[in-house]
Structure 1
Amino acid sequence: MEQLLEFAGNHTLLLVAFFIVLSALLWNIVSDPSGKNAVDPLGATAMINHEDAVILDVRSMAEFKDGHIVNAVNIPLNGLGNSIKQLEKYRDRPIVAVCRSGSRSGAACSQLRKAGFENVKNLRGGMLAWENANLPVKKRR
């Protein structure tokens, strides 16, 4: 026990970093323990094909123009709160939110759920995962 306390005293920064990482991991597990609010690219494809899911791309217009999922609706995350009415027509359909890596789209999912949308999923890994799965991307010129 003395050695543990001595180690902690000598390596305070390392100990703080460890607890920050541990807290982040626990938060990730607690916030969505079963992963039920996330879907991988192949699952998203199945939702598009069989459940008529809507793809909501929350990246900036410039990112969207560089490449997006076919038929995706682009509403940047910073304007989502003011644009919820645009999504009302999709209230009864599943919505898959997507960004570059899955972080911004997670925040979008939270906003949509607070607005009463029930069937909202986050594309796990975002467009990076979509492109790594070699799924089609539409580019505007």
Structure 2
Amino acid sequence: MKFIIDNWYLLVVALASGSMLLWPSLRSAGAGSLTPNRAVQLINREKAVVIDVCEAEEFAAGHVGGAKNVPLSQLEERLPTLVKNKAVPVVLVCASGARANRAVAVAKKLGYDKAEALAGGLKAWREASLPIEKA
């Protein structure tokens, strides 16, 4: 006990460094934590539906293979007609991941509990050297 009292600053440094190491994983656990490789597994093994929430021009410039384009502003109206089975995983993609995270909230509100945003968006997909289609 005397060691802890005499060296309290070491305890503080240890706690601070530990929390800094854990912070990124805790922060990413909430939203957009779906990696490109995990997305490919969902697509291949669980027949996940890929929805690109970019605008039509962005979608035409490049998108995940097999993705369906539904701009974020139209997602609430069009998602139920595109994905009738709410038990199927839905992978939401945009250019950087920000719109896809908002789209997850919309999808979950509609009852799609397995909706996930691709972390890093299409940029992360490209960086993982995965195929891109152009319309």
> TM-score over 0.5 for the alignment?
yes
Partner Cα separation in structure 2 for residue 81 and residue 35 of structure 1? 22
Partner Cα separation in structure 1 for residue 86 and residue 119 of structure 2? 21
Q: Please say if residues 55 and 95 of structure 1, whose CA atoms lie closer than 8 Å, have aligned partners that are also in contact.
A: yes
Task: Give the letter for the 1:107 counterpart.
Answer: R
Alignment CA distance shift 1:58-1:36 (3 Å): closer
SS at 1:45 equivalent: helix
Residue in 2 aligned with 1:66?
Answer: 61
Q: TM-score, normalised by structure 1?
A: 0.72
Partner Cα separation in structure 2 for residue 88 and residue 55 of structure 1? 10
SS at 1:118 equivalent: coil
Alignment CA distance shift 1:44-1:103 (3 Å): same
SS at 2:112 equivalent: coil
SS at 2:133 equivalent: coil
The range that moved more, 101-110 or 83-92, is 83-92
Q: Please say if residues 54 and 90 of structure 1, whose CA atoms lie closer than 8 Å, have aligned partners that are also in contact.
A: no
Query: What are the equivalent positions in structure 2 for 1:1-141 lying under 5 Å apart?
Result: 29=27, 34-35=29-30, 38-140=33-135
Q: TM-score, normalised by structure 2?
A: 0.75
Measure how far apart 1:36 and its partner are.
6.9
Residue in 1 aligned with 2:14?
Answer: none
Structure 1 vs Structure 2 CA RMSD: 2.1
Q: Please say if residues 37 and 120 of structure 1, whose CA atoms lie closer than 8 Å, have aligned partners that are also in contact.
A: no
Residue ranges of structure 2 left out of the alignment (5+ in a row): 1-22
Residue ranges of structure 1 left out of the alignment (5+ in a row): 1-24
Q: Which runs of 4+ in 1 moved over 2 A?
A: 34-38
Task: Give the letter for the 2:60 counterpart.
Answer: K
